């Protein structure tokens, strides 16, 4: 069977600043919450941090040459806010800004579309010291940061993404305390969620009112929720999890409201108290596209003993080395769910990929598992397109192995292998396979 993609389908790869750049104190970069969090004992695997990472900051030309060699059409990267301001707020750091100008220029010279994320989790520590996302003051600093980046690169970046995976950095960082800034507080989480949404909406408004020609959107980490059984209790439980992880972040932006399940919960009162009159209108300022990061599905079962009366049931069978279930059809289901509930907004898979235990053998990495993972997910996406979903591009996570946050350097997601001692880049078999997919623009099964 041959799965043919549209000639304009945008095949790309994705990365994030703190995960690849290294050069943590070069050219005036100030510390981020991830520098602090990773250097606090016990927070990350073996105390790993992003001080050096892949040294992409000094090797970006070499990296772009690899993108070119592979025929990659779009490169999604993120901008490090701590490189842009000396004080995290208004004092511009020209050297930091220049890095992104040079990066974008090099991409364009090589005919690769730049896709930029403004926030992929590396908040300047100095802003966290004032409460971070839970303090509404942060909104104006973020909008100012965005305006500086738009002034510098507004029309050169093909797609602007305000935030990466709001649910993940907000729940893992403010509620579960397993990501930076390591807080465990429901009240602060709700405040932070609302402030992030406002910062997003104000930024979209600014971009639109300034008449830049390209697009702006947001990237959410979404998973379809499957009830454990046909029993009504399990069906309701799956819907509740959907409200927490998906709709809590989709609805404000695409519908201008928070889910009823959340507002009607006792803790929803905190949210109701925070929301001001015009907030929801600001938050839902129309975006041009929705970015979706898809990794797996959730299977949910009712359970009286749990705080929210349900739990996620781990599945037997195939998993990646993150322990995430391999479930390609979930992508097709998720894309249809978006189409049915949020209209036919243009969609991009802004991340999908897998970590496996890659082995370097005679200078090569035969990562057949990753090829099989990607192949099945590409086919699932194509099936969704045939069912009427408005999917326009697909960016594989990740272009290169990188610092996998609390998991450190052991989890390798890359199409490119990084030797962390020498910083040598080695293309894995999956990179060569992906290059062929892009060239053919079809997949055969």
* Integer Cα distance of 145 and 88 in angstroms: 9
Instruction: Copy the structure tokens of residue 195.
Output: 């402030």
Closer to ligand NCW at the Cβ: 203 or 398?
398
Secondary structure, 3-state, 286-316: CCCEEEEECCCCEEEEECCCCCCCEEECCCC
* Integer Cα distance of 211 and 209 in angstroms: 5
Quote the least distance from Cβ 78 to ligand NCW, whole Å: 9
Residue nearest to ligand NCW (CB): 168
Quote the least distance from Cβ 23 to ligand NCW, whole Å: 18
- Of 21, 106, 158, 165, which is the active-site residue? 165
Confirm whether 231 is a catalytic residue. Answer: no
Task: Measure Cα distances from 37 to 43, 55, 104, 409 in Å.
Answer: 7, 20, 30, 16
405 is known to lie in a ligand binding site: yes
* Integer Cα distance of 268 and 265 in angstroms: 5
Stretch that binds ligand NCW, among 95-103, 136-144, 163-171, 210-218 (CB under 6 A): 163-171
Smallest Cα–Cα separation from 402: which of 70, 77, 25? 77
Q: Return the residues of window 10-49 that contact ligand NCW according to CB under 6 A.
A: 16, 19
295 is known to lie in a ligand binding site: yes
* Integer Cα distance of 142 and 138 in angstroms: 6
Confirm whether 165 is a catalytic residue. Answer: yes
Closer to ligand NCW at the Cβ: 63 or 404?
404
DSSP-derived secondary structure for 115-141: EEEEESS--BHHHHTTTGGGSTTHHHH
Closer to ligand NCW at the Cβ: 93 or 350?
350
- Angle (CA) 376-381-394 rounded to 5° is 100
Stretch that binds ligand NCW, among 125-133, 140-148, 164-172, 264-272 (CB under 6 A): 164-172
Quote the least distance from Cβ 147 to ligand NCW, whole Å: 25
Stretch that binds ligand NCW, among 37-45, 160-168, 263-271, 338-346 (CB under 6 A): 160-168
Quote the least distance from Cβ 165 to ligand NCW, whole Å: 5
Q: Return the residues of window 320-379 that contact ligand NCW according to CB under 6 A.
A: 351
Closer to ligand NCW at the Cβ: 75 or 405?
405
How far separated are the first and last CA of the chain, in Å rounded?
5
Counting contacts by CB under 6 A, is residue 80 touching ligand NCW?
no
How would you classify the pairing of strands 159-164 and 113-119? parallel
- How many alpha carbons fall within 13 Å on the CB side of residue 67? 32
Quote the least distance from Cβ 414 to ligand NCW, whole Å: 10
- List residues binding ligand NCW (CB under 6 A): 16, 19, 164-165, 168, 176, 221, 293, 295, 351, 397, 404-405
Annotated binding-site members for substrate: 19, 120, 164, 295, 397, 404-405
Which residues are catalytically annotated? 165, 351
């Amino acid at each position: 069977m041959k799965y043919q993609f549209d000639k304009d389908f945008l095949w790309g790869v994705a990365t994030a600043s703190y995960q690849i750049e290294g050069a943590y104190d070069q050219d005036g970069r100030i510390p981020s919450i991830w520098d602090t969090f990773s250097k606090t004992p016990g927070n990350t695997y073996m105390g790993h941090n992003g001080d050096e990472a892949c040294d992409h900051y000094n090797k970006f030309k070499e990296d772009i040459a690899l993108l070119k060699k592979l025929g990659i059409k779009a490169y999604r990267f993120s901008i490090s806010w701590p490189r842009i301001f000396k004080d995290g707020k208004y004092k511009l750091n020209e050297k930091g800004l220049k890095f992104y100008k040079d990066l974008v220029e090099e991409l364009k010279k090589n005919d690769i579309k730049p896709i930029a994320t403004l926030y992929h989790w590396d908040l300047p520590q100095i802003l966290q010291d004032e409460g971070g996302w839970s303090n509404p003051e942060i909104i104006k600093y973020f909008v100012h940061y965005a305006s500086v980046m738009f002034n510098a690169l507004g029309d050169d970046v093909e797609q602007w993404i305000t935030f990466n995976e709001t649910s993940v950095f907000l729940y893992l960082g403010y509620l579960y305390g397993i990501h930076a800034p390591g807080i465990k507080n429901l009240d602060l989480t709700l405040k932070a969620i609302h402030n992030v949404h406002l910062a997003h909406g104000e930024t979209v408004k600014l971009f639109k009112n300034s008449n830049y020609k390209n697009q702006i959107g947001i990237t959410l980490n979404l998973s379809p929720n499957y009830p454990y059984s046909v029993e009504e209790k399990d069906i309701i439980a799956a819907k509740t999890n959907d409200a927490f992880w998906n709709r809590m972040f989709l609805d404000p932006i695409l519908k201008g409201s928070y889910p009823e399940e959340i507002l009607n919960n006792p803790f929803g009162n905190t949210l109701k108290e925070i929301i001001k009159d015009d907030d929801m209108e600001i938050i839902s300022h129309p975006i041009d596209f929705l970015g979706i990061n898809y990794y797996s599905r959730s299977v949910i079962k009712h359970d009286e003993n749990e705080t929210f009366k349900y739990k996620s049931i781990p599945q037997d069978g195939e998993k990646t080395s993150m322990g995430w279930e391999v479930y390609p059809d979930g992508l097709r289901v998720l894309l249809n769910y978006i189409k049915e509930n949020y209209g036919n907004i243009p969609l991009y898979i802004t991340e999908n990929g897998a970590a496996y235990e890659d082995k370097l053998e005679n200078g090569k990495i035969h990562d057949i598992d990753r090829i099989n993972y990607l192949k099945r997910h590409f086919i699932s996406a194509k099936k969704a397109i045939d069912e009427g979903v408005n999917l326009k591009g697909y960016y594989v996570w990740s272009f290169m192995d990188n610092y996998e946050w609390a998991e450190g350097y052991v989890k390798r997601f890359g199409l490119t292998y990084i030797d962390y001692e020498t910083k040598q880049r080695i293309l894995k078999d999956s990179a060569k396979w992906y290059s062929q997919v892009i060239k053919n623009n079809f997949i055969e099964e």
